[in-house]
Amino acid sequence: MLELDRLSRRYGDVVALDDLSFAVRPGQMYGFVGTNGAGKTTAMRIVLGVLEPHSGEVRWNEAPLNQDIRREFGYMPEERGLYPKMQVHEHLVYLARLHGVSGITATKAASDLLEALALSERASDRIESLSLGNQQRVQLAAALVHEPTVMVLDEPFSGLDPMGVDSMAAVLRARVDAGAAVVFSSHQLELVERLCDAVGIIRAGRLVADGTVDELRGTGAPRYRLDVGAPPGWTASLADAVPGLSVVEDGGRTALVELPPSADDQALLDAARALGTVHQFTPVRPTLAELFRSVVAEPAGAERAGAEKAGAEKAEAA
């Protein structure tokens, strides 16, 4: 299990990570989401040892990380980086060998990966001659070629076309199913929702939500979509009848309402039926995007601190 334990990191006076903790199990795909500058890249760079935390530590199977353990890790940095003049296949073999893979195994692993990512034809082309999308696939291959047990991928899907996303997702899924632990950051929340077994939401260097997608979606106040055959204005009567009910959307016949967490949904249904024929009564669970917006919405003071940090982090990364 990969554990990030109370990581803190400052850039000058600006706090980039503040007691950040979460864990990723083998066989788990962990989505790491947060606004720009929330600290995702900082956290990932610390995991890979490219940056030192000011406090806290990262452990793999209870042991603090060192160069030898990190050898088993695969890393795709936010700023893509490969030798522009090297050939694709040769480059992958080189990286695998730096990770301690034997020459023969590395050659085969690189060929297999290029096949899976539909890049076999470009194997002997120079990296710089590839399109950006293809360079990105090679970058992913570079993170996977030594068959890492842990993969840390910073925005692996940004800038890819849907086919690229699918082939990359399939490759990652296969690795996860084979027992690897994957952490990736993304702003594409639908994608995270679809791919990930667990999600962490980071805000201003702190983890504000952590759990499986189902758990997270279940934590919010329950919402229901109602379609009632009653004259417009029925929602006001409903709100009067059910204590604590709030109307989120009022569309005349249909409405979206939210109950307080402890309330009884059968009481809501009874109240609605008292007003007219109930055509629809559906529990609505928030999407990850909605959840994300509600979780990262924060007081103005904290917002400003986050923005400053964003600036500092970008300056460091630029």
Provide the binding-site residues for another protein, judged by CB under 8 A.
45, 48-52, 65-68, 70-73, 75, 77, 79-86, 94-102, 105, 109, 142, 146-147, 315-318
Joined together, the tokens standing for residue 45 give 């760079």
- Shortest distance, CB of residue 248 to another protein, whole angstroms? 45
| Shortest CB 9 distance to another protein, Å | 13
Query: CA-to-CA distance for 49 and 47, rounded, in angstroms?
Result: 6
Give the nearer residue to another protein in terms of CB position, either 32 or 75. 75
Least distance from C-beta 304 to another protein, angstroms? 23
Residue 136 or 235 with smaller CB distance to another protein = 136
- Is 272 within 8 Å of 288 (Cβ atoms)? no
Closest CA to 258 of 213, 291, 225: 225
* 240 sits in which H/E element: helix 234-241
Minimum distance from CB of 87 to another protein (Å)? 10
Closest to 76 measured CA to CA, from 22, 142, 147:
142
> C-beta of 19: minimal distance to another protein in Å?
21
DSSP state of 129: G
- Shortest distance in whole angstroms from residue 101 CB to another protein: 5
Q: In terms of C-beta density within 10 A (0-12 exposed, 13-18 middle, 19 or more buried), how is residue 104 classed?
A: exposed
CA distance 60 to 180: 12
For another protein, which is the closer residue by CB, 77 or 222? 77
Cβ proximity to another protein: between 87 and 287 the closer is 87
For another protein, give the closer residue by CB, 80 or 175: 80
Angle at 48 between CA 47 and CA 53, to 5 degrees: 50
Residue 299 CB neighbour total at 10 angstroms: 8
CB nearer another protein, residue 98 or residue 274 = 98
Q: Which of 76, 57, 75, 53 is nearest to 65 (CA)?
A: 57
Nearer to another protein, 6 or 54 (CB): 54
CB–CB of 241/271 below 8 Å?
Answer: yes
Phi, psi of 165 (to 5 degrees): -60, -45
Residue found under tokens 């959840």? 291
In angstroms, give the least distance from the CB of 72 to another protein: 7
Structure token digits, residue 15: 């706090």
Provide the 8-state DSSP code for 107: H
Closest CB to another protein among residues 297, 318: 318
Q: Minimum CB separation from another protein for residue 85, in Å?
A: 7
